[in-house]
Structure 1
């Protein structure tokens, strides 16, 4: 009698273990779970456009539900780490993540990998060596995008003189590629001298104040580059307030309504616009394929378009503006 009870207990324990294993490694229980989209901040139209893309792709994700999160600011890296860890602890079916810091997010993504939760990285790369912990990376080729911005600026400034770089969060994966690509192209193809970079922490008001100071300290400045949405908006507002619209060549990055307005009124000569909607849409589509055990590409370039007053109403530009 005692042997029979023991066997029943072993059978029950084994069944429970197998069920837990099925959930852990992506069984039927994962078909009706949660997909967590965690971005750098919710307080930006760029990331809100990523959410629109993710929402549009949810039909690809079966009966899963979507949650969209991000810290109050891009510099609140610890908050984003906590969001990823909490998603892992909730046992979500998958994660789409735009990491604010290439190093700080690695341990949290590793936890997801250990829990057999598929992760798709968007927008910004994680540190080298972390590739094994996520399955796909979807982003603008930020070096190429930075080069596009540099070419657009040189077309307006020529190859000699002084320019400034208004950047956002030092060390962010996208910032390293984007500003690095811009700077390297300027140095290789011109004799322009670069002032900066200055880091706004992706705060529009900070970028405005920094740009005001840069313009005042450098009256001979020929050009200026604003490397992301809030930075470019602050930069453009400072240029306008200083009465220098059209007198200084300015190139921004990203493509919300404010930046489009600055292109149309001549404050910005150009904006380099990423496919933010596509990042969200293709991020979810890629995750859905992973959840079905399908193979996906390790890197997908979501592209960038140079938008000027001449092409802002053309289909190529309208497809990426938001």
Structure 2
């Protein structure tokens, strides 16, 4: 009976489909599934999601989970499938891999469970999910490059790019925006991108290697929280703080401290809290039959020593 209802509702359109799904759902759970639980960035997503749960007055129960590491893609796939089996009301998902998560998101769609993607997308040509809430990562990478180049003031040399998970949608776009902008500058040689697998210790070791083997190095970019922390620690430990321009991405306490002491010239900070908060609220809007935007830009703030204590910066730092 439920299957016939869902099929009939599909003919009337997606919004009707999801309203029908909400009627038949076994639970009122909204599952928030992220790349890893072991990061302040993702914990800030959790804070936002739980704040939305509270604002909605207990209408839904928000669950939160993620693998121990962002490289545990199969584990995240299983988490999505388990959420489908629990017949959750909706799923908020940060995809660790743009291809591996297509099938489980498709399965959610087939079960009339709305999916809102946050942070990193999937390569499904816009199908199977209802909205994508994220930083415009290409624009954010370009902004990081522009700030870094401004600090160089026309000085030429080599620039190191420290990224995280190869194949991740956000890593591809963020790194692409940065590299494209820097390569357009005359006199700059962009080194081959290093990937830390979002492991701070690996990022530290990779940065140490780049510093030692490139005497013409003038600047570095660390493209996510653990990578930027590892990069900054290596820069400081090896005595390069203030000698090279360094820009990070994300805004945990360690990165804030590196901005304050001058190890990092600045950090590009996403609003991970808003990803969680708006992600849950967007699921609620879908289930109420409202039309939602296909892409919602959650924005970034460039934080430096000069503005780190401002209201705007403090609103995104965590």
Give the TM-score taking structure 1 as reference length: 0.91
1:267 to 263, 273, 297: 263
Q: Distance in 1 between matches of 2:297 and 2:2?
A: 44
Q: Is 1:154 paired with 2:134?
A: no
**1:296 match:** 292
Match of 1:133 among 125, 128, 132: 128
Residue matched to 2:13: none
- 1:69-148 equivalences under 5 Å are 69-129=65-125, 131-148=126-143
Equivalent position to 1:210, from 206, 209, 219: 206
Instruction: Please say which structure displays the higher CA radius of gyration.
Output: 1
User: Residues 15 and 220 (structure 1 numbering): CA distance in 2 closer, same or farther, change over 3 Å?
Assistant: closer
Uncovered stretches (5+) of structure 2, i.e. residues with no partner: 10-16
- 1:165-314 correspondence runs (5 A): 165-314=161-310
Q: Distance in 2 between matches of 1:94 and 1:108?
A: 13
Shift of 1:27: 4.0
Contact 1:31 1:62 in 2 (8 A): no
User: Contact between 2:26 and 2:88, CA under 8 Å: does it hold in 1?
Assistant: no
How many aligned residue pairs are there?
308
After superposition, the CA RMSD in angstroms is 2.0
Is 1:38 matched with 2:36? no
Give how far 1:16 is off.
Answer: 10
| TM superposition score normalised by structure 2 | 0.92
CA distance in 1, matches of 2:2, 2:193: 59
Deviation at 1:197, TM superposition (A): 0.5
- Range moving further from structure 2, 60-69 or 22-31: 22-31
How far residue 190 of structure 1 moved from its aligned partner, in angstroms, is 3.7
Give the SS at the match of 2:68: coil
CA contact (8 A) 1:88 1:117 kept: yes
- Structure 1 gaps of 5+ residues are 1-13
